[in-house]
Amino acid sequence: MMTYIVFILSVIFVVSFVGFSSKPSPIYGGLVLIVSGGVGCGIIMNFGGSFLGLMVFLIYLGGMLVVFGYTTAMATEQYPEVWVSNTTVMGVFLLGLLMEVMLVLYVLKSEEVGVVFEFSGVGDWAIYDTGDSGVFSEEIMGVAALYSYGAWVVIVTGWSLFVGVLVILEVTRGD
Amino acid sequence: MNPLIFTTILMTVLLGTMIVMMSSHWLMIWIGFEMNLLAIIPILMKKYNPRTMEASTKYFLTQATASMLLMMAIIINLMHSGQWTITKVFNPTASIIMTSALAMKLGLTPFHFWVPEVTQGISLTSGLILLTWQKLAPMSILYQISPSINLNILLTMAVLSILVGGWGGLNQTQLRKIMAYSSIAHMGWMTAVLVYNPTLTMLNMLIYIMMTLTMFMLFIHSSSTTTLSLSHTWNKTPLITTLILITLLSMGGLPPLSGFMPKWMIIQELTKNSSIILPTLMAIMALLNLYFYMRLTYSTSLTMFPSTNNMKMKWQFETKRITLLPPLIVMSSLLLPLTPMLSILD
């Protein structure tokens, strides 16, 4: 099972995305976002990125999603929608689940999948040890490179986040 | 809006487009598009009424979908070529998805439905920024990937855009919707010649931006957003009325005005590449565009449009001072004799 752990985690990832795309109330969307965040962290860690996985948990789940949860709790309605409360929501959720199950069976059964991409069965999800990353971990090198050679990226993303806050404040200010 | 915040947000729109145009890494291009989209939302929502909010939401949803498609095409390109530099996109799937994403950003058919609705819901100045500046970034990316674009898809979208831009504008009396359909048609002309000679795309973009800028400035000067309101300018500023005539005919592509130059060059380039039926169809469909421009000139400059007597004196606040209006008008009507200068390009 450990060879196919990334595949299993990816399936859970997609299922949780289907869960919030079928639009229940935002508080339940936040619930499956937590699950998908944790599973995404697992996927990243299986590729050797332990630092980045920890970032997902700390910043994404522990920072952004907590703020999202608080604001949703302030704006919640009396009878929030669950997946089983509304026929439409349940129908979309089941449809998404059905499509995912069909895709998984297709990938598992056939040798090659050629829908939009070409995958060679489940093999593409298994983690190989390429042997190149000997002494250093690639991922920490990448983070270090971001702050040295990639200073422009840091400036641009920092400015985007700052302007994002300005825009949100401006839009919600109204008159 | 607080002037400092407004300046910051406007500069961020400029910065986003600049980042798109000067980056060599696909991820930075995507970041530039997102920064551009994020920062233009409060500019579209300058007045807080339900129309502008709806228009901004529509714009945000379509452009965000286009950005998602662009990201998917970038990742497919990464998967198949292993690198992030901007070159032609070698994988056909990635190329088709990227072309569709950029067509959604430009407002080409079949993704044109947001252009009239968003342009109508916002103020004239915001509409000006939307229809001119926002076209620069996607067009620059199309220019850079032009060797690898699937010809069939792009030409189909271009010809359908010219048709929809001409046909859709026929029943409009609101000036912003007319300008939106005009934008769709001009984008169609630009992308039709992209695969054959991308320099002409840039020439058409330049002349189109000048003419659209002029038209919007003339509308802002007379504070008019409908045909009826525009038809009262003869009483207030007769000179502006004449200039509306000249600029509209230039937009329609009539010689000896500058709007004829890009159409002429594009038709010449297409016939040099042995496609005869296509430029014929495009020229015929441009007549639809010319028809509603001529209808505007008929009601504005050529006749005294019927209205009640108390509306004949146009009432507005103090005359707006429009920057650079005379040079813009001159450039958008008198550039045709400079056509031989195009030989210095490439």
Which one of B1, B4, B12 would you mutate to disrupt binding with A, by most A Cβ within 10 Å of its Cβ? B12
Give residues with Cβ within 8 angstroms of A158, minimum separation 6: none
Mean pLDDT score, B152-168? 95
Residue-number span of the structural domain to which B318 is assigned: 3-344
Measured between CA atoms, how close is B42 to chain A, in angstroms? 6
In this structure, chain B runs to a length of 346
Chain segment B96-139, per-residue pLDDT in tens: 999 999 999 999 999 999 999 999 999 999 999 999 999 999 99
- Whether residues A117 and B76 touch (CB distance < 8 A) is answered with yes
Give residues with Cβ within 8 angstroms of B92, minimum separation 6: B150
Of the candidates B91, B111, B87, B90, the one whose C-alpha atom is nearest the C-alpha of residue B100 is: B111
Q: In whole angstroms, how far apart are CA A142 and each of A12, A49, A145?
A: 27, 10, 5
- Whether residues B42 and A170 touch (CB distance < 8 A) is answered with yes
Q: Please name the member of A153, A156, A175 whose beta carbon is closest to the beta carbon of B48.
A: A175
**CB B199, CB B193: distance < 8 Å:** no
**CB B230, CB B215: distance < 8 Å:** no
Would you state the pLDDT for residue A124?
61
Residues of A in contact with B73 (CB under 8 A): none
Long-range contacts of A96-99 (CB under 8 A, 24+ apart): A96/A15, A96/A18, A96/A21, A96/A22, A97/A15, A97/A18
The answer to whether residues A90 and A64 belong to one domain is: yes
Q: Please name the member of B9, B48, B76 whose beta carbon is closest to the beta carbon of A167.
A: B9
Q: Is A114 on the interface with B (CB under 8 A)?
A: no
- Does residue A117 surpass a pLDDT of 90? no
B247, amino acid identity: T
Count of domains observed in chain B: 1
pTM > 0.95: yes or no:
no
Would you state the pLDDT for residue A128?
60
Q: How confident is the model at residue B38 (pLDDT cuts 50, 70, 90)?
A: very high
Would you state the pLDDT for residue A104?
87
Count of domains observed in chain A: 2
Q: Please name the member of A152, A171, A174 whose beta carbon is closest to the beta carbon of B41.
A: A171
Of the candidates A126, A8, B8, B85, the one whose C-alpha atom is nearest the C-alpha of residue B77 is: B85
The answer to whether residues A16 and A66 belong to one domain is: yes
Output B163 or B324, whichever has higher pLDDT: B163
The answer to whether residues A40 and A117 belong to one domain is: yes
Phi, psi of B174 (to 5 degrees): -80, 130
Measured between CA atoms, how close is B309 to chain A, in angstroms? 37
Mean pLDDT score, B266-294? 94
Of the candidates B141, B128, B73, B130, the one whose C-alpha atom is nearest the C-alpha of residue B107 is: B130
Chain segment A33-72, per-residue pLDDT in tens: 999 999 999 998 888 888 889 988 999 999 999 999 999 9
CATH number of the CATH domain containing A116: 1.20.120
A153, amino acid identity: V
Which residue has 């992030």 as its token pair? Answer: B84
- Does residue A139 surpass a pLDDT of 80? no
Helix axes B238-251, B198-221, angle to 10 degrees: 160
Q: How confident is the model at residue A108 (pLDDT cuts 50, 70, 90)?
A: confident
- Does residue B185 surpass a pLDDT of 90? yes
- Residue A119, helix vs strand vs coil: strand
Q: If you measure CA to CA, which chain B residue comes closest to A154?
A: B28
Q: If you measure CA to CA, which chain B residue comes closest to A164?
A: B38
Measured between CA atoms, how close is A57 to chain B, in angstroms? 23
Distance CA A27, CA A48 (A): 32
Distance CA B6, CA A79 (A): 40
Averaged pLDDT of chain A: 85
Of the candidates B229, B279, B272, B236, the one whose C-alpha atom is nearest the C-alpha of residue B124 is: B229
ipTM of model: 0.87
The answer to whether residues A38 and A118 belong to one domain is: yes
Bond from prior residue into B147 cis (ω within 30 degrees of 0) = no
Residues of A in contact with B19 (CB under 8 A): 156
Distance CA B285, CA B186 (A): 11
Chain segment B44-61, per-residue pLDDT in tens: 998 889 999 999 999 999
Helix axes B151-168, B92-106, angle to 10 degrees: 20
- Does residue A115 surpass a pLDDT of 70? no
The answer to whether residues A99 and A56 belong to one domain is: yes
Distance CA A171, CA B248 (A): 35
Residue-number span of the structural domain to which A49 is assigned: 2-128
- Does residue B179 surpass a pLDDT of 70? yes
B301: tokens are 């400059």
Chain segment A58-107, per-residue pLDDT in tens: 999 999 999 999 999 998 888 888 898 889 999 999 999 999 999 888 88
Give residues with Cβ within 8 angstroms of B51, minimum separation 6: B120, B121, B122
Which one of A116, A124, A166, A170 would you mutate to disrupt binding with B, by most B Cβ within 10 Å of its Cβ? A170
**CB B127, CB B96: distance < 8 Å:** no
The answer to whether residues A58 and A19 belong to one domain is: yes
- Whether residues A163 and B39 touch (CB distance < 8 A) is answered with yes
Would you state the pLDDT for residue B12?
96
Residues of B in contact with A159 (CB under 8 A): 12, 15, 35
Residues of A in contact with B9 (CB under 8 A): 163, 166-167, 170
Residues of A in contact with B28 (CB under 8 A): 152-153, 156
Which one of A17, A146, A156 would you mutate to disrupt binding with B, by most B Cβ within 10 Å of its Cβ? A156
The answer to whether residues A96 and A149 belong to one domain is: no
The answer to whether residues A112 and A142 belong to one domain is: no
Q: What is the DSSP string of B138-169?
A: HHHHHHHTGGGS-HHHHHHHHHHHHHHHHHHG
The answer to whether residues A31 and A114 belong to one domain is: yes
B70, amino acid identity: L
Q: Please name the member of B19, B38, B79 whose beta carbon is closest to the beta carbon of A167.
A: B38
B163: tokens are 């048709």
The answer to whether residues A45 and A73 belong to one domain is: yes
Would you state the pLDDT for residue B323?
79
Residues of B in contact with A171 (CB under 8 A): 41-42, 45
- Does residue B344 surpass a pLDDT of 90? no
Give residues with Cβ within 8 angstroms of B305, minimum separation 6: B228, B231, B232, B299
**CB A25, CB A81: distance < 8 Å:** yes
- Residue B82, helix vs strand vs coil: coil
Which one of A116, A167, A171 would you mutate to disrupt binding with B, by most B Cβ within 10 Å of its Cβ? A167
Q: Is A166 on the interface with B (CB under 8 A)?
A: yes
